[in-house]
């Protein structure tokens, strides 16, 4: 008896189904006086008393009365859900707009970075070309220096050879012989 569904449901928030316009009766049946009406989707408190097809409730205005049990829903009505969904939609729209704005700025930044990259690649290519030209000139200069050194060495060797030949054939002064007077 302690675990009966009616006792567990007592005091829990419930809602009038969205598809109806319901009368609040003074007792468990249509023969009782109508205390007022409850619009579809209004929040109610289920008191846990049941008689036949009727359940005892307290409506959103604090009135106590009876309504048909089949008209009570445990799910929040659209009327209750709408403000929550609207707030979530507004929040999502704001986040989406922020993402779009950051996406636009990111896109602009990406374009700037691409142009800077293209300029850097062009500068790198130009620097590489200049380096290759300088390396070729340096190799040419080193080759010319070696050739010039060989050439100078050859000239020195030829001059030395020529001088050596000339010196060999030059008449030597004769020494006086000692046995001569």
What gap in Å lies between CA 119 and CA 126, rounded to an integer?
Answer: 10
pLDDT attached to residue 6: 55
Spell out the residues 6+ positions from residue 52 whose beta carbon is closer than 8 angstroms to its own.
Answer: 28, 29
Q: List the domain boundaries for the chain.
A: 21-73, 75-143
Q: For the domain 21-73, what is the CATH superfamily, name and number?
A: SH3 Domains (2.30.30.40)
18: pLDDT confidence band, cut at 50, 70 and 90? low
Which candidate, 80, 75, 38, 33, places its Cα nearest to that of 58? 38
Query: pLDDT digit string (tens) for 23-77?
Result: 788 888 888 888 888 887 788 888 888 888 899 998 888 889 998 888 888 877 7
pLDDT attached to residue 47: 86
Query: pLDDT digit string (tens) for 142-170?
Result: 999 999 999 999 999 999 999 988 888 88
pLDDT attached to residue 3: 46
């Amino acid at each position: 008896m302690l675990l009966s569904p009616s006792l567990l449901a007592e005091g829990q928030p419930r809602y009038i189904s969205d598809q109806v316009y319901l009368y609040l009766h003074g007792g468990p049946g249509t023969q009782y006086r109508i205390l007022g009406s409850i619009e579809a989707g209004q929040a109610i408190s289920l008191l846990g008393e049941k008689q036949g097809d009727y359940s005892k409730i307290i409506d959103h205005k604090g009135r106590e009365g009876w309504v048909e049990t089949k008209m009570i829903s445990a799910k929040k009505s659209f009327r209750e859900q709408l403000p929550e969904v609207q707030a979530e939609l507004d929040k999502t729209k704001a986040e989406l707009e922020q993402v779009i704005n950051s996406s636009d700025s990111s896109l602009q930044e990406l374009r700037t970075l691409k142009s800077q990259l293209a300029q850097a690649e062009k500068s790198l290519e130009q620097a590489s070309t200049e380096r290759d030209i300088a390396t070729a000139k340096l190799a040419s200069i080193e080759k010319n220096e070696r050739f010039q050194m060989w050439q100078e060495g050859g000239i020195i060797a030829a001059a030395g050879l020529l001088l050596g030949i000339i010196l060999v054939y030059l008449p030597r002064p004769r020494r006086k012989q000692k046995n001569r007077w």
